[in-house]
Structure 1
Amino acid sequence: MIKLTKHYAFLGTILLAVWIGTFPALAQKKKFNVLFIAVDDLNNDLGTYGNTFVKSPNIDRLAKRGVRFDKAYTQFPLCSPSRSSLLTGQRPDMTKIYELQTHFRKNLPDIVTLPQLFKNNNYYSARVGKIFHYGVPSQIGTDGLDDPESWSYRVNPKGRDKTEEPLIKNLTPDRGLGSALAWRATEGTDDEQTDGLIASEAIKIMTEKKNEPFFLAVGFFRPHTPYVAPQKYFDMYPVDKVPLPKEIPNDLDDVPEAALFTKPPHWGLDEAKRREALRAYYATITFMDAQVGKLIDALDKLKLAENTIIVLWSDHGYNVGQHGQWMKQSLFENSARVPLIISVPGGTKGKASGRTVELVDIFPTLAELCGLDPKQNLQGKSLTPLLKNPAAIWDKPAYTQVRRGQIFGRSVRTERFRYTEWDGGNAGVELYDHQKDPGEFTNLAKDNSFVITVNELALLLKKGYPEAQHPEGK
């Protein structure tokens, strides 16, 4: 019996060593810090995701320090519903946040948010910029729909992009600036812009708190419209060189009317104005990327990289003309898919995972990595197996939904297919085979050869939306 006990003790030691060997920093007594970088309205038009036109050198180098998730999806392609879901660890049908006005605590008064969990566990929890919802640009410099219980400290910078708002050019003047194709190439430096000020304030906090555990949430506003950045970033993108997304004749003939957010297509803008808008969007991506670079450089300079987890995410994707659509609020791939990069000290570096994951998975992931007990049910799944082995066996699909007036569109994404029902199928159904049709040009929902696939995915969709089976969740 003694020999057997020693044998199992030895085996347990080996298994523990294997686990710690995967994330060596877990072996140290010092707590992990978390640098939590949120980017507003950023799609996957980044170098590390294969876009060779857009310049994003700093996000690209962050990807080399961690795991890039190639099939990561928002739960709701609109700022407040998405952020409320991610930060509470609950899906939108649980938070009941489907618009931009309601605070999640009205529906979930006692929920412990992700930053609050860290705060409750003796971390310094700080926010700079937009983490919970802000109206952009109207609420820049305010607390917006922030959650005071989540933070030890909050900062709301406001730069010249806000003060010079009257100088912005609006290509769609019938739309407010927060939902318009609008831009401005400014004079002055990065540090005068709101996002530049956000980076500076975040670095100040890192410097002051380098000797104690922190959860530092840094929320950049760009590339959210209006697309404002210093002139030098616009100069990187000659307008006549900006590539527009592929479009095909009669593309929308097999698309349900409810699927369309931008009506008429491109809001009637001609190609020249579309290039002008897309150039500005890309310029603000590169400007924001430069601010991310400042954070990474400061982390290295302060010697915090060896015990700081970095997470970079966007609240949703962004259409830039695909299917005639712009911005978010659609269930097409470009709107539902998001960039997500996680870097763990001592963990896997420079690898990509092709598994379908969700923003709601971030909460349980960080809780597990930092050894914190949420003490509440979380609806996502920890990504730690994929952080250790990006190709690990994984069978969890991703769910995204949006609301159109009084009806919902609900979508499920597997590694091969996207399946979508509008109003439970009453207002249309879509099926796209991403293996053969990554641009989602051919709706296969009525193709007889995909009847079995449609039935299987319809069941999978219902499984992902249990609350939607009740009248109040419709």
Structure 2
Amino acid sequence: MMIFRAAALGAILLLSAPPLRAAGCSRVLFIMADDLRPELGCYGSVAVTPHLDALAKRGVVFRRAYCQQAVCNPSRSSMLTGLRPDSLGLYVNGTHFRELKPEVNTLPGWMKAHGYTARCVGKIFHNWHTKEHGDPRSWSAPEFLHYANHGDDVPQVSGALPPNEATLCGDLRHYGKVPLCECRDVPDEAYFDGRVAAEAVRVLGEVKDRPFFLAVGFWKPHAPFNAPKKYWDMYERGRLPVLNPARPAAAPEIAFHPSTEILGPVQGQKQPTAEQAAEMRHGYFAGISYLDAQVGKVMAALEKQGLLDSTLIVFWGDHGYHLGEHSLWAKTSNFELDARVPLIIVPPQAGHAGASTDALVEMVDLFPTITALCGVPDAPGLDGVSLVPVLDDPKARIKEAAYTQFPRPAYPDRTPRGRPEVMGVSVRTPMLRYTEWRDFDTGSVVASELYDHSKDEAELSNVSASPPDAAALEQARRLLSRQFPPGKR
């Protein structure tokens, strides 16, 4: 009876409020972060993020949002086209999606085709080592600071460069032209993201009087760990969480990778000391607060223009990150820490401001969600579904599962074969993460993993050999096979 009453009350509330699509939002501010872990970057963690916290209070926080592949180009290409990596055939950083599907629709391109001024400031599409730089046809004007290398983010200052106060990682490696950890007393605009925020504020003033889709892509907290000093000073290193480096018990070797993005090439690679690992974590937190401050500048400009309450705001991260957990650094795995992403959606006059939801959602869902909220026709052939029902009712559930995949080797385009040897396909249900590692050519399963999130949120024990709930495992296998049919490709 209580269940019936709750359902009836929910139905009455939904009937009393107009569906969000009817609003037809004419302004969209789409903010992206790079390598941001959701539980560290907002949602009440020890990270100092007042602006992201304020944004969360204005909209709906999606606590169970997942990317389709945990590395920049496949993840961003998937989200921005609304197609899964298998639909695009794209699993690597070095191939532009238009090399594979030249005429595919993109979210900003679709908005532009339906009357919106589409502008790009910062890193939105993948930013380097592809033949096409960004995606010019998606935008109404040239992109800004969109095609570069994180390792080129050398501080630009007038006069002498202040000393680097982060010295512990100096003998570990450099990250391109930048020390892996860098703490200098420089202004925000010395680095990429300060300049991205300044340009976003300028463009906002330029487009404010017309329908717009403004995409602002921040480069942090991606390595190198080089935020300005004032953001390092927000933290006491000894009070930051100490993370567990243990590998999951009974996990297959193929689930891991050599963390080359952070530690460098395997040959000659040095493992960080505890002090060096602590400095990198400190730098990562500083990068989060630096990112947060830039978000705050853009939000302040939106409010100054009188548009804060009439703009659809979406904040998203392209994938998660490891900071030494599971013996891993950076991304390129199918573990929860890499697959789960931050997502906040703030519709104009949000009916559930400050709410959060545990609904399982995927990044391919953003394209149809934004078009639905804007009253724009649905693009054809998308792999995702609209999240508007969850925005109308945060207790609603629209998916049984979310899916992520990652190949081995982690960067297959850098190998003589030039393509994956094995593909890891992973399904996340409300209680489980189940992963199969399949031979890329034959489809045969070479290893599997099962993590019971009801007891093991940190994924420290692979229980695939002795599942605690055989029926739940069978359901996870069924769901995985539905999305990734077994057999030859």
Output the TM-score relative to the length of structure 1.
0.87
User: Residue 294 of structure 1 corresponds to which residue in structure 2?
Assistant: 297
User: Residue 451 of structure 1 corresponds to which residue in structure 2?
Assistant: 470
User: Equivalences for 1:335-414 in 2 at 5 Å?
Assistant: 335-347=338-350, 348-405=352-409, 406-414=421-429
The 8 Å contact of residues 161 and 194 in structure 1, kept in 2 or not, is answered as: no
1:240 Cα deviation (Å)? 2.5
The amino acid that maps onto 2:44 is G
User: Residue 37 of structure 1 corresponds to which residue in structure 2?
Assistant: 31
Give identity over the alignment, percent. Answer: 40
User: Residue 308 of structure 1 corresponds to which residue in structure 2?
Assistant: 311
The 8 Å contact of residues 45 and 54 in structure 1, kept in 2 or not, is answered as: no
User: Residue 461 of structure 2 corresponds to which residue in structure 1?
Assistant: 442
SS in 2 for 1:58: helix
Structure 1 distance, partners of 2:202, 2:334, is 39
SS in 1 for 2:86: helix
Dislocated runs of 4+, deviation >4 Å: 17-20, 158-161, 164-170, 172-176, 178-181, 263-267
1:430 Cα deviation (Å)? 0.8
The 8 Å contact of residues 20 and 27 in structure 1, kept in 2 or not, is answered as: no
1:364 Cα deviation (Å)? 0.6
What runs of 5+ residues in structure 2 fail to find an aligned partner?
A: 1-11, 264-269, 410-420
Distance 1:235 1:290, change over 3 A: same
Query: Which of 112, 124, 135 does residue 119 from structure 1 map onto?
Result: 112
Distance 1:143 1:242, change over 3 A: farther
Superposed CA offset, 1:336-358 (max 9, x none): 10000000011221000101111
Query: Which of 423, 432, 445 does residue 451 from structure 2 map onto?
Result: 432
1:235 Cα deviation (Å)? 1.0
1:296 Cα deviation (Å)? 1.0
What runs of 5+ residues in structure 1 fail to find an aligned partner?
A: 1-14
1:257 aligned onto 2:272: no
Distance 1:433 1:160, change over 3 A: closer
Structure 2 distance, partners of 1:436, 1:331, is 19
The 8 Å contact of residues 160 and 193 in structure 1, kept in 2 or not, is answered as: no
The amino acid that maps onto 2:141 is Y
User: Equivalences for 1:64-463 in 2 at 5 Å?
Assistant: 64-135=57-128, 145-157=133-145, 162-164=153-155, 171=169, 177=175, 182-247=180-245, 251-262=247-258, 268-347=271-350, 348-405=352-409, 406-423=421-438, 426-447=445-466, 449-463=468-482
The more displaced of 425-434 and 264-273 is 264-273
Structure 1 distance, partners of 2:280, 2:308, is 37
Q: Which structure has the highest helix share of the two?
A: 1
1:373 Cα deviation (Å)? 1.6
1:180 Cα deviation (Å)? 10
User: Residue 56 of structure 2 corresponds to which residue in structure 1?
Assistant: 63
Structure 1 distance, partners of 2:177, 2:185, is 24
Structure 2 distance, partners of 1:64, 1:150, is 31
The amino acid that maps onto 2:82 is G
Structure 1 distance, partners of 2:50, 2:136, is 34
The 8 Å contact of residues 168 and 275 in structure 2, kept in 1 or not, is answered as: no
The amino acid that maps onto 1:242 is L
Distance 1:263 1:448, change over 3 A: same
The more displaced of 251-260 and 402-411 is 251-260
The 8 Å contact of residues 256 and 427 in structure 1, kept in 2 or not, is answered as: no
The 8 Å contact of residues 368 and 379 in structure 2, kept in 1 or not, is answered as: no
Distance 1:169 1:82, change over 3 A: farther
Distance 1:315 1:172, change over 3 A: farther
Structure 2 distance, partners of 1:390, 1:258, is 37
Structure 2 distance, partners of 1:434, 1:49, is 19
1:427 Cα deviation (Å)? 2.8
1:376 Cα deviation (Å)? 1.3
SS in 2 for 1:459: helix
The 8 Å contact of residues 249 and 460 in structure 2, kept in 1 or not, is answered as: no
SS in 1 for 2:220: coil
Structure 2 distance, partners of 1:86, 1:373, is 18
1:191 Cα deviation (Å)? 2.5
User: Residue 10 of structure 1 corresponds to which residue in structure 2?
Assistant: none
Structure 1 distance, partners of 2:239, 2:358, is 31
The 8 Å contact of residues 22 and 375 in structure 2, kept in 1 or not, is answered as: no
The 8 Å contact of residues 59 and 346 in structure 2, kept in 1 or not, is answered as: yes
Structure 2 distance, partners of 1:69, 1:154, is 32
Give the number of equivalent residue pairs.
446
The amino acid that maps onto 1:203 is V
The 8 Å contact of residues 64 and 340 in structure 2, kept in 1 or not, is answered as: yes
Structure 2 distance, partners of 1:336, 1:170, is 30
The more displaced of 270-279 and 162-171 is 162-171
The 8 Å contact of residues 310 and 344 in structure 1, kept in 2 or not, is answered as: yes
Superposed CA offset, 1:40-62 (max 9, x none): 111124364232x2111111110
SS in 2 for 1:100: coil
Distance 1:190 1:172, change over 3 A: closer
* Cα root mean square deviation, aligned: 3.0
The 8 Å contact of residues 244 and 321 in structure 1, kept in 2 or not, is answered as: no
Structure 1 distance, partners of 2:467, 2:204, is 58
Distance 1:353 1:180, change over 3 A: farther
